[in-house]
Every structure is written in C-alpha cells, then in structure tokens.
Chains A and B, each alone.
Chain A
Amino acid sequence: MPGTRRVRLDAPQMFFLVVRPDAPYGLARVTDGNDYLPTANLEVLRLRAELLRRTRGFFDGRGFLEVETPLLSADTVVDRHLDPFGVEVGGCMSSAPRRYWLQTSPEFAMKRLLAAGAEAIYQITRAFRRDEQGPLHNPEFTIVEWYRVGDGLEEGMTLLGDLAETLFARGPAERLSYREAFRRHVGLDPHTAAAEQLTATAKGQGIDPPASLSPTDRDGWLDLLLVELVQPHLGRDRPTILHDYPASQAALAQLRDDGDTKVAERFELFVDSIELANGYHELTDAEELARRNRENNRLRELDGKEPLPVESRLLAAMRAGLPEATGAALGFDRVAMLAAGAKRLDQVIPFPFDRA
C-alpha cells in the first residue's frame, strides 16, 4: 500500500528496546510471567496511528463531523448473536442499582444524533462483545462507524468502497449480491432454498456441522455455508462488498422487494476473506424495529440467553422521526492486521484481552 512501510511483526520486545534502552538484557527472553509486555511492537503501533490519521482524513475531507457518544449506555442493540457486557450502576444513597451496557457498537447514540439534525457523522471508538475471542476477535475492539443522511444502499456501498481503497489501495471494490455469491460458490439460491437443501448441501460438501444446529435453523445453516464455502472466495484480488442479505438477517436494515422475495439492504466488506465492515440502508420504522427486537429476544430465549430491553431511546428518536440514511461500521483492528500483513489481531493490539 502506498505511503506505508513494510512492518516487522515479530519481536514485541522491540518495543522495549526502542523506548527503554536501559531495559535489562534478556528481559524479553523471559517466557513466564512476561504478560506485562505488549504483543504488538512499536512499528505496528505507528502503522495503526497512520491508518487512524488516514481514516480521519477520509471522513473530514468529505465533510463528516467526528462525534463522541457514551460507551456505557442504558440501551443496547438487541441481536440474537450479540452479547453485551452488562454493568451495574448506581445503588448508592436512594437510587436503586440499574443495569447499563457497554456498547456493542455506537449505533443507537449516533442515530439519535441523526434524528436530532446531524447530517454526516463518524466516530472512532471502542465496542465490546462478550465471548468473542479468537485470532480475529477481541472482546474489546476499535470500531469506526459513520452515517450520512440522504444516502441509500448505492451511496453507502460507494462510500465504503472508497474508504477501502483509501485504506488498502487494492483497487475499487467488486460488488456481489448474497444471492449471486451463493449461486456461484454453493450452487443454490439462499433466499428460496428449503432448510433441507441447505443441510444436505453442507453435508454433501464435507462440512462438519455442529451437532446442535437445528435442521430448521435456516439462518444458522446459511451462516455455516457462508463461512465455509463463500467467504474463502471474497476479497481475494480486490475488496468485495457483499450486499442484499436475506430478509431474516436484516438486523437494522430496510427491506426491499427483489423479484418474488424480500432482501435486506445490508452490505458487508471483505478483504482477503476477512469480514471488515457491515452497513445498512437504515430502518426508520420504529414499530418494525420493536417487532424485530421482540423476535430477537424470542430467539435469544430459545438459545438460553437473557432477553435484552426492547424499549430504548433510539425507538423514541425513531418515533419522533429518523431521516433516511445509510451507515456502516468497520473493525479497525482487522484493518490494521491486514495492512500489517499479520494473521492475528494480537499482533496489532498492544494489550489484547488476556493481557488487558
């Protein structure tokens, strides 16, 4: 990528050799009890800083306003597969303790700003997701999120593609609909295929499904097929924007008629097969959101998870009027990982969860 040096990923002790030339020799060779050391070296941290500057430059140059909203909120996104960290607050003097949530994304607060008149806003902040830990997941991560009033799906995908070009310089993003991607790499229509067809295809392709995956859980099987058969082909030569998701996976996106089926105006960015961003042509109908929240809670309870609050200040803002807008969120640590040529997030996060 232009303007970025090739970075060294090894030897996190480099950090100490650079900033602490007086560190005792051999310090970094200690293999036990050395978890105070950062796992990302100084060179990688410089690359992160450069990518942050480039991201801010991208949005500032397009007239977006950088905003800040609370990390700890009384509201939280209600999603079947997103688990927020709950935090007890209050409880002193006369006030009863109350449950707040560490945000899983700044979505609710930023949309409340749109409802109050903001037109183009972005934020670089932290988000938290419980039980998400692995080579590509850290329970606390850096998220870049943005919204622009008046944008539809088309404009939203163009903006995301431009940002990807700014960050990776891998050429304009290709666009691929969820339906076309499944036709090409799985050989079926994801919107119309029956659940039995999804399970039979997965098994026929040698995929080992979780024994507990219900044969009627269409979305569970679509996720499995996406991860195993589709994702490996996405973002290989240039970034891929996958769009028009199944209506059942709309999350907070609007639905649109597409032939005889409904699709969600939701889009995602993939680079080197890694999922980097998720965007919506935003749902503006408060009652539809309340309905989806209740449905997500029903599924959460079936999964043995706690239900999350259906009512929120976002719903109040939507009832007052949320303008048409499109927005997206980008996992910044994964961007840094790909830009650095790293394979795991802990190579670009100085203190990952285990050392936090």
Chain B
Amino acid sequence: MYCEQSRDYLTAHLHHEMSHAENDRLQRHLAVCAACRTALQEQTAIMRALRQTVPVEPSAEARRALQRRVDKDIHYLRAGRSETPRLAAPPPPPLLGYTPPKALPPASDLPRGLLMQPSGPVIPPVLAAPVSGRMQASPRQEPDLLQVSSVLIWATFVLLLAVGVGVVALSLKPPRAEPDTGRLQRLASRSRMDERHAAQARGRLAESLINTQIQLGNTRVQSGTLVVLPHHDPSTGETFVVAYRPEDIERLKGDPKIDQAVFSAMLESAAKVEVSDGKCMLPRELLEKYIGAEYKLSVLDLDQRIEIWSSSQLEKYRTNAPIEINVSLPARNGLPPIKVTE
C-alpha cells in the first residue's frame, strides 16, 4: 500500500468503517511509514476535538415555545378529526340524488293494521304521523321518484335532440359524386397501353439484344462475324448464350480439354451474326429458347467470348458460385514462394 492509498483509509479507520482486509493492509503500512502515522495522529486529534465540543442546550423558553407550537398545531390539525378511532369510510353519495328504497318484507309477514316504515321498525298506526295515505306508504320515496322522472325526461329530450341534429346533418350532406367513368376508361386504356409497350420492349430487347459496344476482353469488335450458340450445363442447369469469333470456334474444336460431343451439340444450334459498327443483332428465337424473353439481360464481355445471361439466372449463379482463389507470392526473407491455385 502506498501513502496516498493509506490516506484514503485513515478516516474510515478512525470510524471502524473498514473491512478486515483493508485494515490489515493499512496496519502493515503504518508499521513502516512514519508520515502516515503522523497523519493518523493528527486525524485522531481532530476527531477527539470534534467529539469533545460542547453540545448546544435548548433554552427553557425554546422548549416551551416548541411545546406551544406543537399543541397549537395539534389543536388545529385535530379540529377536523375525532379522537376516537376512525371508522370505515362513509358510503358514497347516491347517484343523481336517487336513493334506492330498501327491500321491504313481504306484506304477508306484516301484521294487519300496521303501517310500514321504510327504514325502521313496524309501528302501530296510532303513533304514525297523520299524513295522507299516499305519503304513509313511503314518505321518502316520492321526491326520489320525481328526480328520477325528471332525469328520464331530460335524457329523452337530449336523445331526441341528438337524433334531430343527425337527421338534419344527413339531409344537408352534399350528394355523392358520380364516378368519373372517363377517368377510369383513360386509366384502363393506359394500363393496356403499358402492357403493349412492355411487350414491344421485351421483343425489341430480345431481338436486338446487344445495343452496346461489343468487346472481347479489351478488344473492341467493330466489324466481322460472330458465331452465337447456346450453352447448357446439365449438372447445374445453367443456360445462357455465348458468342465466339469463328477462329475461336475452330480452335475450340481441336481443344482436348473440351468435351467435343457437347460442343458439337451446341454448334448444331449455332447461328452466325454480323457485327456492324460494333453492334450486332442476335436471333430472337435463339434467345427466347435458351434464355427466355426476359426483360432484363446481362452481357458479359470475356476474353474470347461474350456470354448473354438472363439477369436473374446470373445473379443466382453468382450467389452459388464457389470462390476462386489464385494466390501467388514470391519468396521473401528466406521463405519459400507460396502458390495457391484453386
């Protein structure tokens, strides 16, 4: 433990607010550090001085004043509170001033000639108040019924008013506009036109196909002849159209690496196209047969050939294609050269 750390612990040590481990570490440091021992002594002196301060005693007048204030507040606060324990909460006020009458015992249970009080015991008619017969039966119910009837009348009035307002609002609502048939017809014709244009565009694309500059690798093909043939890989199901120069076709015919039977089958469907000003027209039936009349095609300019894919199939191929690795590093610092080809 360093002195700086021990100073952090000194105050807690004075108040016995340290763990055993911290205390042990501090004691070990204090045994060898005179400066920290001096600091501890100083802090001990400060603590003693603080604990030996004379407490302030409240004066008798202050005690009396506090007692008076408390008594005054007690009187004030208890003005609205009974000294007895609080009872259960009072029942909620009646809804809309209406108190439902209590259930009365059946008339057969009551002795004849006795008047019935709604919330009290049965009393003889001699002790009952000399009021009319209507009030005798239920003296507290009549005003409640009046209130209920008035509330019902008001509710009926409000309901009728709301219905009336609704009827007026419906009658004042402007008539619904007739559907614009001309607009619908225009939309329908536009839709048909769009379909026709799309079909035409598809046809044009499938027919003209390569309207860009033809390149074989870095070489522009301005004029000449290309041999277009389909390519189908039965193992992967990939089909696309490939274009070669005639001399490359001749070279491939003698290439032992190529399956000549497959290549011959491809050549059976081949067609020759002329390149003019770097552009060429490809046969529509070939494209439709092997690629499909897709709206979107992709053209790959490779070194010795041009591949024409449907974009969706090319994307699928790229997703599933294995990663090609071709790494070649020269020898360096005495290490042998590295060559990885896959």
Do A and B make up one complex?
no
A-contacting residues of B (Cβ < 8 Å)?
none
A contact set with B: CB distance below 8 Å: none
